[in-house]
Amino acid sequence: MNNWVFALTAMLVYLVLAFVLGLLAGRRRSFWSVSEYAVADRGLGLVVIWFMMGGTVFSAFSFLGGPGMAFSQGAAAFFVPTYVALGILPWYLLGPKVGRIGARKNFFTMGDFLGDRYQSRSLTVIVGVISVLAFIQYLTLQIKGMAFIFNILTDGVIPYWLGALLAYGIVVIYVASSGVRGAAWSDVFQGALMLVVAWTVGFYLVYALQGGPADMFTSISESRPGFLTIGNEGSTMSGMAYTTVILVSALGFLMWPHLFTKSYTTTEKRIKLTTLAFPLFGIFMVPVLFIGFSAIGVVSPDALGSADEILPHLITYELGASGWLYGLIGAGSLAAAMSSSDAITHGGSVSLGRDVLLPLKPDMNERTQIWIMRLGVVAIGAAAYWLSIFGAAGIIALLVGAYGSIAQFVPAVYGALIWRRATKSGAIAGLIVGIAVNYYYQIVADVTPLDMNAGFIGLLCNIVVFVAISMLTRPVPEALADEYRNA
C-alpha cells in the first residue's frame, strides 16, 4: 500500500475524532445562550484554559512556518518561543481585573470592555471591524497550513483546495454548534497530540539527518557563519528588526480578542495558574524549530516551492519514512492548525455579532445574536478560505502582519485600566493612526526607519496620538474611570 494512503487514513481518523469531540462538548448546553456560546458561562477549567491558550500559539506556523523560518532565516526564528514566553506574563495582573469587570458588567468581548470604559459605541464597532479583519488574516495562515499538509503528504492526490475544505469544514461545524466549549475541548485533544508529535519528530529528524543537536549546530556555524546570530554579518535579521518584532508580538499577544476574552471564561485563580504554567509552551516549540535547522545542508532551497514546505518535504523525500509516520506527522500538523482555527473562528464570530452588529441595533434579542454569531462562523471562514486558496502571502508574513494590527489595541486597553485621563477620542484616533501606519509600511513602503517592525512603528505613533488627543478632550466621569482602575 502506498505511503500516502496510510497518511490519508490516519489524518481522516484524526479529523473524525476531533469532529466528534467538538460536537460532544456542546451537548446538554443551552443552544441559544450568548453566555454559553461566547464564554462557556464563565466556567472553563485550568487544564482546558491552558491547552486552549497554548493551542492558539501552537498553530500552522509551528509545524510549517516555524521550521520554514528556521531553515531560511536561522536564529531569527527564535523570536517565536521568546514572545510566547513573554506575551502571557501581563495576564497575571490584567486577566483578573478584566475578568472581574466582565463578570460584573456581563461582558463577552473586548469591544464590550472598551466601549463601556470609553462610553463609545463607535469605538466598539471599530474594535470589532479591526478584530474581524485581523482574524481573517490569521485564519488564512491556518487554512494554508491545512492545505499544505494534505496536499504534500498525499503526494498531491488531495488537491490544495480540498484538503483545506476537509479540515476547516469540520472546524466550522463544531464551532458553530458548540461555541467556545467545543473549541476548548477539541484543543485539549489536539494540544496533547501536537506536543507529542513535535518533540518526537523534532529530535528524530535532528538525529537522523545531523547526528544530534551539537553536531547540527556545529555544522551550520561552520558552513554558514553568522546564520545562527542576530545583527551580525551572515545573519538574516538586524538587531532592531528582531527586537521590535518580539515587542510587537509579545505586546499584541493578549490583545487578540479571542485571548483577551478568555479572562471572562474562568476564575481569577485559574488565570494566575495558567499564566505561570504557560511559558512551557515556549519550551515545547524549540524542537519544532529544530526541524528546520536539521534540513540545512540536506535540502536545497531550490527544491521547495516555499520554505513552509520543509517538514513534509523532509518526511517525503529525505527519510523515505513509513506511511504511519506520514500519518502521525499529518495528524499533529493538522492538530496545530485546527487548534488555532477553532479559537480564531469563534472569536471572529463573536466579535462580528457582538461588536460590529449589536451596537448598530442595540435592541437585538439573544436568539438573533446567536444566529448572527453562528452564521458569522461560516462567513468569516469562507473569506479566509478564499484568501488561503487565491492569496499569495506566506505563513510568516501573515503571522507578523496580523500581529502588527492587533498590537494597536495596547494603548486603549492599558489606558482603560491605568489612566484616568484616557478618552474615547484619543483611543479612536490612536487606533486609526496606528493601523494606517502599520499597513503603510507593510504594503506600500519598501523599507522601515531603522529597520523597525511595521507594527512597532504604528504602535509608537498610536501611543503619541492617544496621549495627545486624550489630554485635549473630555474624559469619562471619574467614577467610571476609577471603577476600571480599581477593579
User: Which residue, among 192, 194, 189, has the nearest Cα to 170 in the 3D structure?
Assistant: 189
Say how many Å lie between the first and final Cα of the chain, rounded: 62
**pLDDT score at 61:** 64
What residues make up the domain containing 380? 3-392
In a domain, 421, yes or no: no
pLDDT per position as a tens digit, 232-266 = 998 999 999 999 999 998 998 889 888 898 899 88
Distance CA 153, CA 322 (A): 11
pLDDT digits (tens, 9 = 90+) for 70-104: 999 999 999 888 888 888 999 999 999 999 999 99
For residue 475, pLDDT beyond 80:
yes
Least confident interval from 34-43, 79-88, 285-294, 368-377: 34-43
Residue 435's alpha-carbon distances to 129, 401, 452, in angstroms, are 12, 11, 16
CATH code of the domain covering residue 9:
1.20.1730.10
Q: Is residue 300 part of a domain?
A: yes
Q: What is the pLDDT of residues 200-227, one digit of tens each?
A: 888 888 998 999 999 999 999 999 999 9
Q: Taking residues 280-291, what's their average pLDDT?
A: 84
- Residue 216 makes CB contacts below 8 A (sequence gap 6+) with 206, 209, 210, 290, 293, 294, 296
3-state secondary structure of 459: helix
For 260, the 3-state DSSP assignment is helix
pLDDT per residue over 181-207, tens digit each? 877 777 777 777 877 888 888 888 899
- What is the domain count for the chain? 1
Q: Do the Cβ atoms of 268 and 103 come closer than 8 Å?
A: no
Establish if 9 belongs to a structural domain.
Answer: yes
Neighbours of 146 (CB within 10 A): 28
